[in-house]
C-alpha cells in the first residue's frame, strides 16, 4: 500500500467520495451532513491523502483542513473490502504527520452518533470527545473529538 498527498478531483478518488456519501447520506438528515465537496478538498490549505493498493487502485482517503490553531479531519473513508487491514489508521497517521510537519499540533473532527465504528476508531487513535468547535451548529447527531500531538 502507498499513501500520498494527491489531487481529489481524480475520477477514482471522486468515486471514493461518492461511495462515502452513499454510505453516510441514509444515516442522517440533510441538515446534519457536514462533508466538504471536491472543490473545498482542492483548496491550498487542505491536505488530501489517498491510499492505493499494489495495483494502484484507490482504496481509501482522508483530508486534513489546516485552520488557524488546529487541523480538522474530513472525508476519511476506506472501501468496505479493504477494511480491517489498517488502511484507515495509516491514512490518519500520514495526515497527522504531514500536518505536524507544517506546525499543526491539535487535530479535531466531527463525526456522527450513528457511526459507532468511526467513534471507536478515533478513540483508539487517541481522540477524545470535546465541545462543539468552528462553525458547526448545535446538532444532537454530531460528536466532536480532539487529539493533541504529544510534545517531542
75 within some domain: yes
Total domains present in the chain: 1
29 within some domain: yes
User: Tell me, what DSSP letter sits at residue 110?
Assistant: E
- Domain range for 26 is 2-105
What is the predicted pLDDT for the residue at 149? 85
90 within some domain: yes
Question: Do the beta carbons of residue 123 and residue 81 sit within 8 Å?
Answer: no
Our CA dihedral for 9, 20, 83, 67, rounded to 10 degrees, sits at: 70
Alpha-carbon gap, residue 10 to 113, rounded angstroms: 30
What is the predicted pLDDT for the residue at 152? 58
pLDDT, tens only, 103-147: 999 999 999 999 999 999 999 999 999 999 999 999 999 999 999
141 within some domain: no
Alpha-carbon gap, residue 138 to 131, rounded angstroms: 10
Which segments of the chain have a pLDDT < 50? Answer: none
Amino acid at each position: 500500500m502507498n499513501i500520498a498527498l494527491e489531487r481529489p478531483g481524480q475520477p477514482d478518488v471522486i468515486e471514493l467520495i461518492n461511495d462515502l456519501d452513499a454510505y453516510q447520506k441514509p444515516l442522517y438528515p440533510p441538515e446534519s451532513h457536514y462533508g466538504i465537496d471536491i472543490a473545498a478538498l482542492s483548496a491550498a490549505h487542505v491536505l488530501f491523502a489517498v491510499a492505493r493498493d499494489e495495483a494502484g487502485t484507490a482504496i481509501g482517503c482522508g483530508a486534513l483542513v489546516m485552520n488557524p490553531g488546529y487541523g480538522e479531519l474530513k472525508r476519511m473513508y476506506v472501501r468496505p473490502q479493504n477494511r480491517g487491514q489498517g488502511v484507515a489508521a495509516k491514512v490518519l497517521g500520514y495526515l497527522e504527520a504531514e500536518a505536524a510537519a507544517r506546525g499543526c499540533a491539535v487535530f479535531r473532527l466531527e463525526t456522527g452518533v450513528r457511526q459507532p465504528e468511526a467513534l471507536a476508531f478515533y478513540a483508539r487513535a487517541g481522540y477524545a470527545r470535546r465541545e462543539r468547535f468552528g462553525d458547526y451548529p448545535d446538532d444532537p447527531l454530531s460528536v466532536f473529538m480532539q487529539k493533541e500531538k504529544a510534545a517531542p
